[in-house]
Chain A
Amino acid sequence: QLQVQESGPGLVKPSETLSLTCTVSGGFISTSTYYWGWIRQPPGKGLEWIGFFYYSGSTNYSPSLKSRVTISVDRSKSQFSLRLSSVTAADTAIYYCARAPDQWGQGTLVTVSS
Chain B
Amino acid sequence: QTVVTQEPSLTVSPGGTVTLTCASSTGAVTSDYYPNWFQQKPGQAPRALIYSTSIRHSWTPARFSGSLLGGKAALTLSGVQPEDEAEYYCLLYYGGSQGVFGGGTKLTVL
Cβ of B64 under 8 Å from chain A: no
Tell which of B45, B91, B100 touches A96, judged by Cβ atoms closer than 8 Å: B45
- Asked whether B36 lies within 8 Å of A52 as measured between CB atoms, the reply is no
Residue of B nearest to A54 (CB): B97
Quick one: closest A residue to B34, CB to CB?
A: A101
**How many A-B Cβ pairs are below 8 Å?**
49
- Which of B12-20, B47-55, B69-77 lies at the interface with chain A? B47-55
Given A46, A52, A64, A106, which contacts B101 in the complex, CB threshold below 8 Å? A46
Q: Interface residue count for A (Cβ, 8 Å)?
A: 20
Q: Residue-by-residue, is B1-29 near A (CB-CB < 8 Å gives 1, otherwise 0)? A: 10000000000000000000000000000
- Chain A residues near B48 (CB, 8 Å)? 101-104
Interface residues of B in 84-98 (CB under 8 A from A): 89, 91, 97-98
Task: Please tell me the number of chain B residues within 8 Å of chain A, measured between CB atoms.
Answer: 20
Provided the pairs A46-B89, A101-B52 are in contact, do residues A60 and B98 lie with their beta carbons within 8 angstroms?
yes
> Bound complex: CA of A104 vs CA of B51, how far in Å?
14
Interface centre among A52, A58, A60, A105 (most CB of B within 10 A): A60
Contact B99 A101 (CB under 8 A): no
When A47-B89, A49-B91 are in contact, do A104 and B101 touch as well, CB less than 8 Å? no
Is residue A62 contacting chain B, with contact meaning CB distance below 8 A? yes
* Cross-chain contact of B1 among A64, A102, A106 (Cβ < 8 A): A64
- Residue B46 CB within 8 A of the other chain: yes
Residues of B within 8 A of A63 (CB): 1, 98
Q: How far is the CA of A60 from the CA of B36 in the complex (A)?
A: 17
Interface positions, chain A 54-103, Cβ under 8 Å from B, are 58, 60, 62-64, 96, 100-103
In whole angstroms, how far apart are the Cα atoms of A47 and B102 in the complex?
A: 8
Give the complex CA separation of A39 and B89 in angstroms.
Answer: 13
> Which residues of chain A come closer than 8 Å to B57, judged between CB atoms?
101-102
Residues of B within 8 Å of A52, CB to CB, are: 97, 99
Chain A residues positioned under 8 Å from B89 (CB to CB): 46-47
A-B contact pairs, 7 of them (CB 8 A): A47-B46, A47-B91, A49-B100, A60-B98, A63-B98, A101-B52, A106-B45
